[in-house]
Amino acid sequence: METLNIPLEGLYDKTHSMYKLVVLASMRALELNAGAAQLAEQEKKNVLLTALHEIIEGKITYAQGDK
């Protein structure tokens, strides 16, 4: 099992919500698993870790829709 070497504070600062972070990371991991190109240099092939690295590097963001 791989260990997370990602600063969680930095991830939280990107979304300001753990719920948004989990949804964003899981949606991106699904895209990567379906064959989407990686946006972050990542040696490991774990799609969730790759998604988290992309978020922390600011390459993946979210847009809040109308309420």
DSSP code string of the chain: -PPP-S-HHHHHHHHS-HHHHHHHHHHHHHHHHTTPPPSS--SS--HHHHHHHHHHTTS--------
**21 lies in some domain:** yes
Number of domains in the chain: 1
- Range 11-19 average pLDDT: 86
Q: What is the pLDDT of residues 25-67, one digit of tens each?
A: 999 999 999 999 999 887 777 899 899 989 988 998 888 776 5
**Between 3 and 56, the higher pLDDT residue:** 56
Give the contacts of 12 (CB within 8 A, at least 6 positions apart): 18, 21
**24 lies in some domain:** yes
Structural domain for 40, as ranges: 8-56
Its pTM surpasses 0.85: no
**Between 64 and 21, the higher pLDDT residue:** 21
What pLDDT, on a 0 to 100 scale, did the predictor assign at position 67? 56
What pLDDT, on a 0 to 100 scale, did the predictor assign at position 4? 62
